[in-house]
Amino acid sequence: MMENDGIIETIKNRRSFRGLYKPDKVPREDLTAIMEAGLAAPSGCNKQTVSLICVDDPAVLEKIHDVIDPPVAQTAPAFICVLTQRIPAYRDKCFAVQDYSAAIENMLLAIEGFGYSSCWYEGHITDDDRICDKIAGILNVPGGYELVCVLPVGTAESKPAAPLKKPFGERAWFNSFGKG
């Protein structure tokens, strides 16, 4: 049987980080392993709707930072950009949102496991101003793909505080809603 304590601790300790990053580059082998964790996520009907672009070139990062307004993660030494394709699956339903959500969570846990920090930036870049389209243009993303998220990756200069969470018994039950 697999030892679960490490996995559970990684899940419980992961935090969204919105602060400054140290200038240390993230090794490509770590970035590759993080992206592999994302691509290992489940995919509805195995449509594999998720694709990833990692940006660690400072010149390309600068172009991306120039289009993100208000700015986020300006000091992160790498970004993983999450792309999706809206491919119909079971009964013509599309599971792209579920697919990329699972991939993002896998990557956030891998990022934490490597000792780096990140934050899931989706709404900020997919809002009415469509920053995602500007980033996609910089990265030469072809039609049929939608950039839905950016994950900064790097070593945090500070540790984020744990958010307050409601007690387990207010959000989770056994056998029936509201039952202990």
**pLDDT value, residue 1:** 43
* pLDDT over threshold 70, residue 2: no
* pLDDT over threshold 90, residue 48: yes
pLDDT-above-90 percentage for the chain: 88
Query: pLDDT category, 3, cuts 50, 70, 90?
Result: low
pTM over 0.75: yes
Rounded to 10 degrees, the C-alpha dihedral 17/85/110/64 comes to -40
Q: Exposure string (b/e) for 73-86, b if CB count within 10 Å is 16 or more?
A: beebbbbbbbbbbe
| Residues 7-28, mean pLDDT to the nearest whole number | 94
Residue 79 and residue 31 in contact, taking contact as beta carbons nearer than 8 Å? no
pLDDT-above-70 percentage for the chain: 97
| Residues 74-80, mean pLDDT to the nearest whole number | 98
| Residues 110-138, mean pLDDT to the nearest whole number | 96
| Residues 76-92, mean pLDDT to the nearest whole number | 95
Query: pLDDT category, 161, cuts 50, 70, 90?
Result: confident
**pLDDT value, residue 160:** 86
Domain spans of the chain, in order of start:
20-156
| Residues 19-25, mean pLDDT to the nearest whole number | 97
HSE, side-chain direction, 13 A CA sphere, residue 173: 8
| Residues 66-84, mean pLDDT to the nearest whole number | 97
| Residues 141-170, mean pLDDT to the nearest whole number | 95
Least confident of 52-61, 77-86, 140-149, 169-178: 169-178
- Topology classification of domain 20-156: NADH Oxidase (3.40.109)
